[in-house]
Copies of this chain bind each other. A is one copy, B any other.
């Protein structure tokens, strides 16, 4: 249920001496007890020392198991108040964000792209607002069409803050597309992402659909330690959706 953070073949977790179950086994037993309401929603569970005695393992092993269940949203751990079962868990879904090239190749299609626009221009107000820019210093504006088996897959309208990423001015973005160049050269430390729907509108001609079709729109803004990097608005071809793991 909870993904094991140790990838296959990784160094085994160093914590504690293995009990009969190991931390994964203890995690699973504890999860079963939460599900079965052996530990009721909102109730305190036994402390780590008591659980370690019950499972015949090191306290660190119990700690590791409980940390997983806390990260997954089932337990609330407080230093003094103890550990409670969260009555209304907030589950999480995870979206992998590969390179656009890789996303299209993952679909089994051949990837290509066309750089439609490259200009340096003052950002429109909504771009300034999304990146929290205080002035209208010109940014790099690039529009890229990404194709799967030569069919339009997504059009990306992107603004890049040159003050944060000056090297992109000299980049050949017809060779490395802006998405790949940024992933390789300008890692972000924080960001926001929004998935919504819109009519294709002005993007219809790029996407090869009609203006009245509904398309998925993904907007992503990123920063590096507080410095704005880029805002990208992606319109996907009709019927395309993003898949998340639960």
The 0/1 profile, CB within 8 Å of B marked 1, for residues 187-206 of chain A is: 11111111111110000000
**Those of A117-176 within 8 Å (CB) of chain B:** none
Q: How far is the CA of A71 from the CA of B13 in the complex (A)?
A: 14
Given the complex, which residues of B lie within 8 Å of A220, measured CB to CB? 246
Interchain CB contact (< 8 A) of A10 among B70, B188, B194: B70
Task: Determine how close the nearest CB of chain B comes to the CB of A220; give it in whole angstroms.
Answer: 7
Q: Is A215 in contact with chain B by the CB < 8 A criterion?
A: yes
Q: How far is the CA of A35 from the CA of B244 in the complex (A)?
A: 27
Which one of A6, A59, A67, A197 has the highest number of Cβ atoms from chain B below 10 Å of its Cβ?
Answer: A197
Evaluate contact between B90 and A98: CB separation under 8 angstroms.
yes
Q: Is A16 in contact with chain B by the CB < 8 A criterion?
A: yes
Given the complex, which residues of B lie within 8 Å of A13, measured CB to CB? 63
The prevalent SS among residues of A at the interface is mixed
Question: Smallest CB-CB separation from A6: which chain B residue?
Answer: B67
Given the complex, which residues of B lie within 8 Å of A90, measured CB to CB? 96-98, 102
Interchain CB contact (< 8 A) of A191 among B5, B10, B34, B246: B246
Evaluate contact between B95 and A63: CB separation under 8 angstroms.
no
**Those of A6-38 within 8 Å (CB) of chain B:** 6-7, 9-11, 13-16, 34-35
Evaluate contact between B97 and A92: CB separation under 8 angstroms.
yes
Given the complex, which residues of B lie within 8 Å of A234, measured CB to CB? none
Given the complex, which residues of B lie within 8 Å of A93, measured CB to CB? 94-95, 97, 193
The 27 listed contacts between A and B (C-beta, < 8 Å) are: A1-B190, A5-B67, A5-B70, A7-B70, A10-B79, A11-B48, A11-B77, A14-B16, A14-B59, A41-B184, A87-B184, A89-B187, A92-B95, A93-B94, A93-B97, A94-B95, A194-B242, A194-B243, A195-B241, A196-B216, A196-B240, A196-B241, A196-B242, A197-B238, A197-B241, A198-B214, A199-B213
